[in-house]
A and B are shown apart, each in its own frame.
Chain A
Amino acid sequence: MALLEIENLAVEFQTSTGPFRAVDGVSLKVDAGEVLAIVGESGSGKSVSMLAAMGLLPWTAKVTADKMVFDGRNLLGMSASERRKIIGKDMSMIFQEPIASLNPCFTVGFQIEEVLRIHLGLDKAARRKRAIELFEAVGIPNPAERLGHFPHQMSGGQCQRVMIAIAIACNPKLLIADEPTTALDVTIQKQILDLLMRLQTEHRMGLIMITHNMGVVAETADRVIVQYKGRKMEEADVLSLFESPKSDYTRALLAALPENATGDRLPTIGEIFKGAAQ
Chain B
Amino acid sequence: MTPVLEAKNIVRNYYLPGGLFKKERTVHAVKGVSFKVEQGKTLAIVGESGCGKSTLARIVTMIDPASGGDLFIDGKKIDIAAGDLTPEIRRKVQIVFQNPYGSLNPRKKIGDILMEPLIINTDTAAAERRELAMAMLKKVGLQEIHFNRYPHMFSGGQRQRIAIARALMLKPRLLVLDEPVSALDLSVQAQVLNLLADLQDELNLTYVFISHDLSVVRYMADDVMVMYFGEAVEYGARDQVFNDPQHSYTKTLFAATPRADVDTIKARLARKSATLAAS
What is A's interface to B at a CB cutoff of 8 Å? Answer: 41-42, 156, 185-190, 193, 201, 212-219, 238-239, 242-243, 252-254, 256-261, 264-270
Contact = CB atoms under 8 A, between A and B. Distances in A.
B185 A242 contact: no
Chain A contact residues, majority secondary structure: helix
Nearest to B252: A187
B194 A266 contact: yes
Interface residues of B, number: 41
A55 B194 CA distance: 40
B190 interface: yes
Chain B contact residues: helix, strand, loop or mixed? helix
A41 B185 contact: yes
Given A187-B48, A188-B48, A239-B266, A257 B260 contact: yes
B158 interface: no
Contacts of A261: 219
A156 B212 CA distance: 15
Contacts, number: 113
A190 B193 contact: no
B269 interface: yes
23 contacts: A41-B185, A41-B187, A42-B156, A185-B48, A186-B253, A186-B258, A187-B256, A188-B48, A201-B276, A212-B186, A215-B258, A215-B259, A219-B258, A219-B264, A239-B262, A242-B260, A243-B262, A253-B186, A256-B186, A258-B190, A265-B197, A266-B193, A268-B194
Given A190-B255, A266-B193, A270-B187, 12 more contacts: A185-B48, A186-B213, A188-B48, A189-B256, A189-B258, A218-B268, A239-B266, A243-B262, A254-B260, A258-B190, A258-B218, A269-B186
B258 A252 contact: no
A213 B265 contact: no
B246 interface: no
Interface string B96-122: 000000000000000000000000000
Given A186-B214, A268-B190, A212 B258 contact: no
A256 B219 CA distance: 12
B124 interface: no
Contacts of A239: 262, 265-266, 269
B187 A268 contact: yes
A256 B258 contact: no
Nearest to A241: B265
